[in-house]
Structure 1
Amino acid sequence: MRPSSLTYHVALLAVLFFPTVFALKTADWKTCSQAGFCRRGRALSARAKEHRSWKSPYSVDASSIAVASDQASFTAAVTSSLYPKINFGLELRIHKDGVVRVRMDEVGGLRKRYDEAASWALIEAPETSHDIKWTVGKKDARALYGPKKDIEVVVSFEPLKVVLLRKGREQVVLNGRGLLHMEHFKKKGDSVEVKPEDIPEEGLDIEDEAQKVMKLSPGAWFEGDSEDAWWEESFSSWTDTKPKGPESLSLDISFPNHGHVYGIPQHATRLDLPTTTGDTPTYTDPYRLYNADVFEYHASSPMSLYGSIPVMHAHSSDSTVAIFNAVGSETWIDLAHPSPKSTETHWISESGILDVFILPGPTPEDIFGQYARLTGTPALPAHWALGYHQCRWNYISSDDIRGVQKRFDEEDMPVDVFWLDIEYSEDHKYFIWDKKNFPDPVEMTKDVEAFGRKMVVIIDPHLKRTSDYPVFKAASELGVLVKNKDNNEYEGWCWSGSSSWIDFFNPASWDWWMKIFRTKKAKEWTWTESTESTYIWHDMNEPSVFNGPEITMPKDNIHYGGWEHRDVHNINGMLFPNITHQALIARSATPKRPFILTRAFYAGSQRFGAMWTGDNLGTWEHMAAGVQMVLANGIAGMTFCGSDVGGFFGNPEREMLVRWYQVGAFQPFFRAHGHIDTKRREPYLMEDPYKSMLRDILRLRYSMLPIWYTAFREASVTGIPVLRPHYVVFPHDEAGFSIDDQWFIGGSGLLVKPVTEKGVTEASIYLAEDQVYYDYFTHYAHRGAAKGKHITVSAALHEIPLLARGGSIIPTRERRRRSSPLMKLDPFTLRVALDNRVSARGELYLDDGETFSHRDGQIVWREFVAEKPDKKAKTLRISSRDLVKEKPGEAIDGVALKNFSPSNNFAKSIESVRVEKIAVIGLSSKPKSVKVEGGQALEFVYDGGVAAGGKKEGVASVLIIKDPGVAISEDWAIVIDI
């Protein structure tokens, strides 16, 4: 949703009426050249490149080095040859899992730098390793560690440099190019003239006579010769006062042996990040991390968007490493490839301390685990949240919601959630219903609940400044509103008109906010006109301020603790869903898993719910960009993610809408949404054959919910994303490192490549291995190759390019239901896609899908295996075993499975749920018999075709075992005599 401005409406009309020809607006947001600290950082990099003898002025004071008695940490004083009276403190800690934390802060400065970013992102203080031994020499200090003692951290003293090596090869280098610069706090007016001969020779070429004759303030050869936006800065009509003066942090981070980097979402760009500097950069501006309400954003741009996660993966065929830069202020990142096999980055932040976590890998899975141990794993969502969500701005009344629900049922289309945008509220006073159009909100919600469905309503962070709004009144009286630079309540403009914003950095706001969500009357005002099936959508929480600089809050606003908004901007949006998450849990006597959708996010936001890619456009380019953005968010932790189906702006043509539903059905968060001025486009409004196509897509999503839920269980335990890019699944296949238009769904073996271009009837899919892949719908067997191979598949409008990897067992539920909660006792179908060795494996995870009882062992977790006893055997055995018994060391939400009993109430509640069909794909011949091991013979139908272990392509053989009579929650085996 966007600000009401003339330019906005003009642009909107262009989108609505000329959807393929319109200008994208960028002037409301800064470029690097318009941000003083980014200019200074880039100028520093340019000077370093110009001077051949450039050397970092920062060095370690060897006499100050201290190694903790348990060897877990290394500390030292750091000095600058430019400012010998300014002191810095360096600390390195090596965590138990090998992660290296590097911190540097100004010591005894005029002011304190913001150092709390990591405390909001981390789930707990990381456990340090005691299996470390530091060796301190004359030039450096070293620590060798790891299970194989092949990882080494080296801290060079002069100049300061930190290097992580594996097997002697450099993996990550901090300050290798000498761009580290922590602008120390100054007093306004501080300026000392120095003589040219006082300039350190190591910082300037001797031949540079032009520089030598200049009158310079201290460090001008390093910082520049002017006070560029030190104390205030203007952009458009706004002036940012900077009472603390310059305090930016510049740091170069290099990956000398890694030629591909991913992450730093959110940007609309390729997964394999394009360059911003070098000989032929893709972009001329750095990547910006600054949560912003950017409407009509470009489909390819380094511009900042709604969220910021300062984590970057670096990948090669040898290893994967990563860094997490715990900074909450605006940050710009330049990226270059000095060679195809190496990457250089330059991080420029407006404020904060140096607090970098180096993740050593060496595999993608290791990186996900190391990052998850820092910032937490994605929350295990409620099962219904993985169904289809129907939204628009706005369903206009209670009767409108009831009518939409009725039409879904009449058209036999499944849906789980209906959404209400801002117009449900009276004068945009969130929590307060517009009784003219929504006279019976509780009854309306209960009508939705009657079919197992839920409601989601929007709660934006701005509070209308009026005394008859109890939420604003209470926040003002409690003193928990953000202050302006004069320490008065900040007043800005948003949907509510004159508005203020809750300062969730203030602990006094937390309990108060949580109490609002209680559905019963209390002494304080509570949201009694809601139910426990009402869930929350947090929009505009960057925060979006219509009359603010860059459509956000002024940087010199004041938060709790006296910190300026510039220090915490990127963290700010994370706190809103955090507290609401706790509120939704606390409102129920039996806590239920909350659902919260957030637009703004930061590292750690994955713990609190889902996010979406914001206000996209109804264009083919944005459909494709959304795919890349969802993948990028996933590898940075935010795996519960999706793009608005159909595009927020515009009226997609029929072909585009069908293709967008195909994309949405294969993203974790599946929601259709549209702007208030777009045409209604609920799927049942389409004429046939398009309506039937959309119905089939929705049914396909619901049949696959067991796959999605099982993948989310793994993500919630390991941190590995639900959507897995090619490099994650095949980390040694260089041909696939830049692929970002096809992906695997969890560990299911499903490979999907939705069409995102107009008029396409065929699609090319890359297969990385010498393995058989089956078309999910036709069972056509495609053969890969050892060095990779592209195949062409049919992709007419009604077709989705979807393959099942040989070696997978895929559990689905094929009964048609109107919502996912009605599927709880439905039987399962198992698709056994045999691999080249005539074997397969799969998993299924189940719990009640709503409460936290899974933490008490109320789960069913099964492994299915198809295998021959030996290569020459004439039998194939398909079995089910209990993974709770088999993997006692595993955990669910931190609780070890060894503490769980396989015989639990949930398992008993579904003991009647059976496997109704098994389809075995790729057998070499018709079986002689099929029977339950130790039991009766079973009916089967065999349709001959290509065998899994052969070399031919064509439609594979399919064996259908009808109603084998085995329970999904029990151990069993079926023997096929071939």
Structure 2
Amino acid sequence: MQPWTLLGVLSLLLAVPDALAVKSHDFKTCSQAGFCRRGRALSARAAEAKNTWKSPYSVDVSSIAITPNKAVFTAGVKSSLYPDIQFGLELRVHDDGVVRVRMDEINGLRKRYDEAASWALISEPTISQDITWTTGKKDIRAKYGNNEVVVAFEPLTVSLLRGGKPQIVLNGRGLLHMEHFRTKKVEETKTEEAAPVPEEGAEDAAEQAVFEAEKEVNPRAWFEGDTEDDWWEERFSTWTDSKPKGPESLSIDISFPSHGTIYGIPQHATRLALPTTAGDSPTFTDPYRLYNADVFEYLASSPMSLYGSIPILHAHSADSTVGIFHAVGSETWIDVSHASDKSTETHWISESGILDLFLMPGPTPADVFAQYSRLTGTPVLPPHWSLGYHQCRWNYISSDDVRTVQRRFDEEDMPVDVFWLDIEYAEEHKYFMWDAKNFPDPVEMTNDVAANGRKMVVIVDPHLKRTSNYPAFQEASDRKVLVMPSSGEGEYEGWCWSGSSSWIDFFNPNAWDWWKSLFKTTALKSGWSWTSSTTDIHIWNDMNEPSVFNGPEISMPRDNVHYGGWEHRDVHNINGMLFSNLTSKAVQERTDPPQRPFVLTRSFFAGSQRFGAMWTGDNLGTWEHMAVGIQMVLANGIGGMSFAGSDVGGFFGNPEPEMLVRWYQVGIFNPFLRAHAHIDTKRREPFLLEQPYKGIVKDLLRLRYTMLPVWYTAFRETSVTGVPVLRPHYVMFPKDTKGFTVDDQYFIGASGILVKPITTKGATETTVYLPEDEVYYDYFSHHVYRGAAKGKDITVQAELHQVPVFVRGGSIVPTRERPRRSSPLMKLDPFTLRVALSKAGSARGELYLDDGVSYAHEKGQFVWREFSAQTAKKTVRITTKDLGAEKKDAAVDGVALASYNPGNTFAETIKEVRVEKIVVEGLGGKPASVKVEGGKELVWEYAPGVAANGKGEGVAGVLTIKDPKVLVVKDWAIVIQM
């Protein structure tokens, strides 16, 4: 272990940005990780052997058993290499068609970690009651609907088929290898005193035996390799990782024979459609790594692991989409290659754990999102205010500084909802304890912020300063809920911001209620709580990979011990999720009734979407990081983490005004919008900018607030269906092959809004891809563009003050156009409806509203309206109806819709909220009259369109209906007579 000091650590971390560029030598490559090296060597031997390669694993046919309901198949698995080692295989077919495949070592010397799924899944999936297994000589299979799952006996393979065509194949290349537990061979040492006197000729015989043994070829070398490669301990840099359980890695090849494009396995800074890492001319030479790590200034294009890990993949083609989710919490490396442009091969190598794979049959992207959501849960519906603008830096230095920043926003009439405090708010980095010198009045400061409808977010990291005058640490120590060192006794000690620190073991259930009690804002009868806080303070969980400054790969030693005796290597990627999970519940339960918490996490795993937001970590103020941030947010949405964003401006560096403006254009179209900066950067709050940059950013922030109804409606849909808030082209247009690799533009929910942020210096125009034969309207100018049946690129203006935003024909977009200082002040503001008519003269949109802070929406307290427009016989009718009432029996919304009442309490609070303006694009001519059905002529004006060319492009005709005095919560119809 390195002789670190707190001063040395801080000196390193506070150095100038150039000194903080990612140090690749701090993090392993596959060749430096014994189990990955072994897994890749196995793949290389198989490739060299080609058609002669055969997996040693086979099904023991005599052991096959099927449950009475026929949905669960089990069997023993044998390895020809180790006939005495037993494995067990289990297949379950869920009622939605997902197939779960589990394989574990049976009656081994030790138990493999098998609890990853219990942390990721929301409940035990429901098993199908309509499955019939058919056993043949070579396989057993079950057909259900158009799907079929086939288990081949020798060698063992598992295949998911649709219409008889393979979709997912496990062990098709024979790379399955579950390293079994074994006893370490202890070399005997001889001493002169104990050495027996050899008989005559015995010495020569012994030497001959050794010679013969050395000549003997290890019969298993073709599969396992000919050396014990880092089986029992492993060195990296100055650290030694003891491996008391020996080798226990898991290798499995997963092929997608009918799908040439794959997405997922966040988090990596790469293109959305994952580049290759193996085969001919790979893009990257190392596999994608899933190992949550604190990576300063990460590369903008790399398979290196970052802060979170979600082991999910989508495999896509024009015919279908399928997915796999592997519930494994240990370090995992994934190779990607293509046998052809229509198929994909992957190889997964995990350090420990069991095989626990979920095969999701799709066949559409929406189906795969739904299937994954039923497993791990949908993204949380966040508090409405958290979709506004968040202002942060490391660090606002005092309560007066916070008040000054708020005052300056108000003076410049710029909206903002949240002010953030980084680690310097806490006395000696003892979280929950304010620095009394700089923050003498935390409650009053928070109340001053809250007086304007705003919130505060403060950081709480997982490391606790090891000192008896820190109640959080002392109570954790007394309760014995801290992570233990490799000995399994005492408390692990490492270094982080607090200096000498220990880490709470959230795998220990004894830590749960205690941790939640710390966030109570009132004094407790027993124990310590955060009485110098208020319910207007929410939480930022950072450093929860966990980050340990003096640990291997800036993290915790793998042989540390958690609750239940599991090593840290078994649970590393799950660790960060439990921290944000418990923090979210703590913030939620500090009020009665509970209020929706906001918790931002840096580290995450499958299921983290249930607890809050994430951001892409310590990015750089560069154009490359701006661009890859978009791709990372899209990828995280595939993994369920829709509430995502990258730090506006970049965490490191001092972006020039042009870059900062462009970054705000990216940020306002991220689900999570936060500006953040390193302690050594210049202050760059938007009100400090010179004109015209300040005015442009002000307009951008106002645009974000204008579109909050779009964002909240999209989040509501995501919280129900699992389809991400930001939707890549393959999700919206799954059959359009030209859109499979498009990852620099995207749609916001089902709103019809298409965004193409600018991420290149000096740009004055850009190319936008339109995937269909439909009209698209420029959001700002009403210019109309027409796509094509096979997709079409258009060129649009993109000066610095312009961000390309389009409304797809056939959409109705609800907005609120009145500038306010914060989003809670908008709750009674009227709405504007933008009706963008399709080529056929129709349009549709939705608006979802609730109180934005409580859980009353789960009891039917909301307003959910549909707006539609139809054209028939020179008449356009714009109508609205109550979707809550119409879909009351819908299973997808469960209890909320079942208990919905149009006259619910929340609807009463906004019963006077009206539509103050309706803008109709694409009428094609001036109307003869515009009326509310059954009423008088309305006030309206019409701006005629201007044709630009013979392709149907130009400026659309725009009808503006002024204050029709129709209410949001009531049904109505407006009739436009042409």
TM > 0.5 fold call: yes
Checking the alignment, whether the CA contact within 8 Å between 1:322 and 1:361 is kept in structure 2 is yes
Q: 1:593: which partner in 2?
A: 596
Tell me how far 1:894 sits from its aligned partner.
3.7
Structure 1 residues 753 and 69: CA distance shift in structure 2, 3 A: same
Aligned to 1:521: 523
On the 8 A contact 2:6/2:499 being kept in 1, the answer is no
**Which amino acid in structure 1 is aligned with residue 922 of structure 2?**
G
Structure 1 residues 178 and 3: alpha-carbon distance in aligned structure 2, compared to 1, 3 A threshold: farther
One-letter amino acid of the structure 2 residue matched with residue 49 of structure 1: A
Structure 1 partner of 2:178: 182
Paired residues of 2:9 and 2:549 also in contact (CA < 8 A)? no
C-alpha offsets along residues 554-573 of structure 1, whole Å, 9 cap, x if unaligned?
00000000000000000000
Q: Give me the identity figure in percent.
A: 71
State the match for 1:874 in structure 2: 874
Does 944-953 or 271-280 show the bigger shift?
A: 944-953
> Residue 208 of structure 1 corresponds to which residue in structure 2?
none
Tell me what 1:937 maps to: 937
Aligned equivalent of 1:74: 73
1:37 corresponds in structure 2 to 35
Match for 2:286: what amino acid? D
1:255 and 2:251 equivalent?
Answer: no
In 2, distance between residues paired with 1:690 and 1:249?
Answer: 53
Determine the structure 2 residue equivalent to 1:466.
Answer: 467
Q: Deviation digits for residues 314-359 of structure 1, max 9, x if unmatched? A: 0000000000000000000000011011000000000000000000
CA distance in 1 between partners of 2:916 and 2:519 (Å): 43
1:492 aligned partner, one-letter code:
G
| Equivalent position to 2:161, from 165, 175, 183 | 165
Conserved? CA contact 1:392–1:421, under 8 Å: yes
Determine helix, strand or coil for the equivalent of 1:432.
Answer: coil
Structure 1 residue aligned with 2:857: 854
Partner of 1:369: 370
Alpha-carbon distance in structure 2 between the residues aligned to 1:275 and 1:214 = 40
* Structural mapping, 1:521-540, within 5 Å: 521-522=523-524, 523-540=526-543
1:200 is aligned to none
State the match for 1:199 in structure 2: none
Structure 1 residue matching 2:431: 3-state secondary structure: strand
Describe the shift of the 1:55–1:261 C-alpha distance in structure 2 as closer, same or farther (beyond 3 A): same
Shift of 1:888: 1.8
Of 12, 22, 25, 2:23 maps to 25
Equivalent position of 1:194 in the other structure: none
Structure 1 residue 400: Cα displacement = 0.3
Deviation readout 1:442-472 (Å, 9 max, x if unpaired): 0000000000000000000000000000000
Mapping for residues 190-339 of structure 1, pairs under 5 Å: 215-217=216-218, 219-339=220-340
Counterpart of 1:387? Answer: 388
SS of alignment partner, residue 735 of structure 1: helix
Aligned to 2:197: none
User: Are the aligned partners of 1:668 and 1:708 in contact in 2 as well (CA < 8 Å)?
Assistant: yes
Distance in 1 between residues matched to 2:402 and 2:10, nearest whole Å: 29
> Displacement, 1:856?
1.1
Residue 766 (str. 1) matches residue 772 (str. 2): no
Distance 1:121 1:46, change over 3 A: same
Contact residue 366 and residue 731 of structure 2 kept, 8 A: yes
- Over 3 Å counting, the alpha-carbon distance change for 1:508 and 1:485 in structure 2 is same
Tell me the CA shift for residue 125 of structure 1. Answer: 0.2
Provide the secondary structure at the position in 1 that maps to 2:356: strand
- Counterpart residue identity of residue 923, structure 2: L
CA gap of 1:727–1:584, structure 2 versus 1, over 3 A, is same
The residue identity in structure 2 corresponding to 1:925 is G
Q: Note the alpha carbon deviations across 1:358-403, whole angstroms, 9 max, x for none.
A: 0000000000000000000000000000000000000000000000
SS in 2 for 1:427: helix
Residues 1:433 and 1:676: Cα distance change in structure 2 (over 3 Å):
same
- Mapped partners of 2:259, 2:401: distance in 1: 54
Question: Which runs of structure 2 are paired with 1:707-722 in the superposition (5 Å)?
Answer: 707-722=710-725
Write the distance in 2 (CA, Å) between the matches of 1:849 and 1:333: 40
Distance 1:889 1:808 in 2: 26
Tell me the number of residue pairs that the alignment of Structure 1 and Structure 2 aligns: 947
Shift of 1:13: 5.6
Question: What is the deviation of 1:893?
Answer: 6.2
Kindly indicate whether residue 403 of structure 2 is the aligned counterpart of residue 402 of structure 1: yes
The corresponding residue for 2:612 is: 609
Q: 1:8 to 1:167 in 2, by over 3 A?
A: farther
CA spacing shift, 1:336–1:553, aligned 2, 3 Å: same
3-state SS in 2 of match to 1:712: helix
Partner residue in 2 for 1:636: 639
1:864 to 845, 867, 873: 867
Q: Which residue of 1 aligns with 2:128?
A: 129
Question: Contact 1:378–1:637 (CA<8 Å) still a contact in 2?
Answer: yes
| Structure 2 spans left out of the alignment, 5+ residues | 188-212
Q: 2:373–2:722: 8 Å Cα contact kept in structure 1?
A: yes
| Contact 2:720 2:892 survives alignment (8 Å) | yes
Paired residue for 2:693? 690
Distance 1:174 1:682 in 2: 52
Could you tell me how far 1:220 is from its partner in structure 2? Answer: 1.7
SS of the residue corresponding to residue 878 of structure 1 reads strand
1:203 is aligned to none
Aligned counterpart, 1:559: 562
After TM superposition, give the deviation of residue 219 of structure 1 in Å: 1.9
CA distance in 2 between counterparts of 1:959 and 1:977 reads 12
How far apart are residue 947 of structure 1 and its match? 8.8
**What is the CA distance between 1:899 and its match in structure 2?**
2.5
Against the structure 1 CA distance between its residues 794 and 185, is the aligned structure 2 distance closer, same or farther, given a 3 Å change threshold?
same
**Aligned equivalent of 1:154:** 150
Conservation of the 8 A alpha-carbon contact between 2:922 and 2:957: yes
Instruction: Tell which deviates more after alignment, 483-492 or 403-412.
Output: 483-492
Task: Kindly state the Cα deviation for residue 760 of structure 1 after the two structures are TM-superposed.
Answer: 0.2
Q: CA deviation at 1:218?
A: 5.3
Given that 1:854 and 1:892 are in contact with CA atoms closer than 8 Å, whether structure 2 keeps it comes out as: no
User: C-alpha displacement at 1:833, in angstroms?
Assistant: 0.3
Counterpart of 1:88 in 2: which secondary structure? strand
Partners of 2:641 and 2:9 lie apart in 1 by 33
Q: 1:625 aligns with which of 610, 625, 628?
A: 628
Q: Secondary structure at the match of 1:430?
A: coil
* Partner residue, 1:724: 727
Rounded to whole Å, the distance in 2 between the matches of 1:818 and 1:126 is 45
Aligned counterpart for 2:826 among listed residues 823, 845, 852: 823
TM-score normalised by the chain length of structure 2: 0.95
Aligned partner of 1:58 in structure 2 is 57
SS at match of 2:965: strand
Q: What is aligned with 1:547?
A: 550
Shift of 1:887: 1.1
- Partners of 2:619 and 2:891 in 1: how far apart? 38
In the superposition, relative to structure 1, how do residues 4 and 272 fare at CA in structure 2: closer, same or farther (>3 Å)? farther
Q: Distance in 2 between matches of 1:504 and 1:7?
A: 26
Structure 1 residue 948: Cα displacement:
14
1:15 shift after superposition: 3.4
Correspondence for 2:807: 804
Contact 1:748–1:809 (CA under 8 A) maintained in structure 2: yes
Q: Does the 8 Å CA contact 2:66/2:73 hold for their aligned counterparts?
A: yes
- The alpha-carbon deviation at position 438 of structure 1 amounts to 0.2
Residue identity in the other structure for 2:508: N
Alpha-carbon contact 2:266-2:635 (below 8 Å) kept: yes
Q: Hey, what's the Cα distance between the residues in 2 that align with 1:761 and 1:948?
A: 20
Query: 3-state DSSP class of the match of 1:710?
Result: helix
The residue identity in structure 1 corresponding to 2:434 is W
Matches within 5 A, 1:671-690: 671-690=674-693
What residue number does 1:206 align with?
none
Secondary structure of the corresponding residue to residue 433 of structure 2: strand
- Tell me the CA shift for residue 581 of structure 1: 1.1
Give me the TM-score of the superposition, normalised by structure 1. Answer: 0.95
Give the equivalent residue in structure 1 for 2:779. 776
Task: Check the 8 A contact 1:121/1:603 in 2, yes or no.
Answer: yes
Tell me how far apart the structure 1 counterparts of residues 500 and 453 of structure 2 sit (CA, whole Å): 39
Equivalent residue letter for 1:969: V
Q: Any idea what the Cα deviations from partners look like across 1:946-968, whole Å, max 9, x if unmatched?
A: 59999521010000000000001
Q: Is the 8 A contact 1:610 1:638 kept in 2?
A: yes
Residue 213 to residue 252, structure 1, CA distance change in 2 (3 Å): farther
Q: Kindly indicate whether the alpha-carbon contact (under 8 Å) linking 2:22 and 2:295 is maintained by their aligned counterparts in 1.
A: no
